[in-house]
Amino acid sequence: MGRSSLAAERKEQILSAFARCVARSGFARTSLEDVAAESGLARGHVRHYLGNRHDQVAALAEWINAPGREAFDRVRGIDDDRKRADGVLDYLFHPGFYGPSDELAVFLALFEEARRTEDLRKKFVDEYHDILDTLTGALMGGHALPKREASDIAYLMLCAAVGNAHLSETGVSPVRARRVGGLCRRVLRMLLPANGKSAAGS
């Protein structure tokens, strides 16, 4: 095994262990020793492959968000405006976005950590703006909505999705969490021009 392959394997091992620790205990109660023990590696290896605490948190944020980022890249690449709007809603209200899981627990812990870490806060803001801009553009192009109206609707959908994820992790009924996407699509249909075919489908 080459050095680059070994380094990638070790980083994956450590990040996976770090994520489990954070999901279980949060950032404040997760130490370097905890991550080392969970990964089965020495503390020095954790520091060697991931750097200091700030670097570790940044690496975890990149790692935990990679699948979602790849999924949204595919949505953003949809040519048809209405289908792209559909794709954004599918992304926001997919169980993978809101369903209770270790990944969601880590995401919410990072969200809280972002209040104290400027580059992490900027990462969240940039990603949210990407979602907002994509949905806004799709609604403008697919339904001839004015930019401000399309932007307001996009923000409403994002707030509903993020709020649903937060509440879902606190133990809100899974049935309620599942219904939010359908309810938001109904709201969207009411907000779209009467002569337009809904981006949310009929």
CATH number of the domain to which 42 belongs: 1.10.10.60
Same domain (yes/no): 147, 187: yes
Same domain (yes/no): 127, 31: no
Q: Are 172 and 108 in contact (CB under 8 A)?
A: no
Q: What is the mean pLDDT of residues 125-147?
A: 97
Same domain (yes/no): 39, 112: no
Using a cut of 0.85, tell me whether the model's pTM lies above it. Answer: yes
Model confidence at 141: pLDDT above 60: yes
The pLDDT value given to residue 14: 97
Token output for 57: 């948190």
Same domain (yes/no): 164, 88: yes
The pLDDT value given to residue 142: 96
Q: Which residue has the higher pLDDT, 129 or 194?
A: 129
Per the prediction, the chain carries an average pLDDT of 93
Same domain (yes/no): 75, 169: yes
Q: Which residue has the higher pLDDT, 7 or 164?
A: 164
Q: What angle do CA 22, 26, 28 make, to 5 degrees?
A: 120
Same domain (yes/no): 147, 86: yes
Q: Are 201 and 131 in contact (CB under 8 A)?
A: no
Same domain (yes/no): 184, 143: yes
Percent of the chain with pLDDT over 70: 95
Q: Residue 78 sits in which domain range?
A: 64-191
